[in-house]
Amino acid sequence: MQLEWQGFYLDGKTADRRQAVIHLTPTGLQVTTKNGQTFFWSYEEIRQTQGYYAGEQVRLERGAEISEALLISDEAFLVSLHRLAPGLTRHFHDPTGRSTRALLTFFAALAAIGIAGVLYLWGIPMAAALIAARVPVSWEERLGEAVVNHLALPEKRCTDRTRTRRIDEIVKSLLGPLPKPPYTFRIIVVDDPTINAFAAPGGYIVLFRGLLEKSQSPEELAGVLAHELQHILQRHATQTLLRHASTGLLLSAIMGDISGTSAYGLEAARTLGTLRYSRSNEEEADAGGLRMLFQAGIDPAGMISFFETMKMASGGEPKLLSYLSTHPSIEERVERLRPLVAALPKSPIKLLRDYDWKDIRKICSVTERSTKEGPGR
């Protein structure tokens, strides 16, 4: 049994990925970085956030809002954990039981669907969380595409390629320090004055023109994007849809039936358009988004400044602020995030340094011809 593994250590305070040797012991992990720092992580304080799929990098985290992390590329690391300390590592994924768990999940979900009344109401949310963590990415992508086609009609989309590329650059900066995600992220801007944004399963983020116009800097938009990216990476949208889905959609997810997802696109779009994420989902997306900003070297204060911009705007156009109506109160979020931001080092990079942000926000005000020519000509 292999006890020593190569990986990377992230301290949660900088964007650096430090090479590390991770030694398994009966009670925890002994971590030694390349520069000689040594840490001990007991199994009880570690949580696993990635590494549930074959070929996916294992990510272990320790800490609350701003977490330390270990990245290990070989899933056999988890097998060794379970063999060395089976009693203390039950909360980690065991790759050797993947097929058994999938079968158990299938029958558990079927049982939950067949239960009426109170048991039905309790069983579906539990099954949704289990299923969402294990459905194929291809299934999520097909469902997300169907949802977006209903909620962001093609004729309402802003297609200025030059300005769209600038927004894609922000997303690329956010994802840069992270392990390669299982999704291909797609940002869609809709010509609508509503101040809103939402994440759909499979890597889709829809931004409304109203929200883009209210953002005062690329760093503010980065705060919104980081939050929505976390909803996707933590599969909150998929969980929410499955929690409130029909039996047909739930079974489609259990079976990984890609061909059946399009038929449920309208149902999923209506569900996603009317439901709110749970409080815990929103707090996880805020904390994860803040960590993502920090690791990318982007000023996390942009997340707070955007919320404050929204607070001022709410006095004049409350009916347009859908983004606020589907999220926790601004005061509560700012109060929770401000001390976390204050504790972070102040050495942010400047996003889109060579571009005019006011011009980029005009993404929906150009013709197809000027799109091809690009801004400023």
Whole-number Å distance between alpha carbons of 166 and 235: 26
Q: Is 125:176 a contact under the CB 8 Å cutoff?
A: no
Q: Tell me the domains of the chain and their CATH numbers.
A: 4-93 (2.30.29.30), 98-132 (no CATH), 137-373 (no CATH)
Whole-number Å distance between alpha carbons of 36 and 19: 10
Residue 111: partners with Cβ closer than 8 Å, 6 or more residues away? 123
Question: For residue 134, which phi and psi values (nearest 5 degrees)?
Answer: -125, -5
The model's pLDDT over 104-161, given as tens digits with 9 standing for 90+, comes to 666 655 655 554 343 344 455 555 566 666 678 887 888 888 888 888 899 999 989 9
Structure confidence at residue 374 (pLDDT) = 42
Q: Is 1:17 a contact under the CB 8 Å cutoff?
A: no
The model's pLDDT over 73-110, given as tens digits with 9 standing for 90+, comes to 998 999 999 999 999 999 998 888 655 555 666 665 56
Parallel/antiparallel/unpaired status of strands 47-50 and 186-190: unpaired
Neighbours of 128 (CB within 10 A): 23
pTM strictly above 0.85: no
Q: Is 63:42 a contact under the CB 8 Å cutoff?
A: no
Whole-number Å distance between alpha carbons of 143 and 121: 23
For the chain, list residues with pLDDT below 70.
65, 97-134, 244-276, 311, 313-331, 333-334, 336, 339-347, 366-377
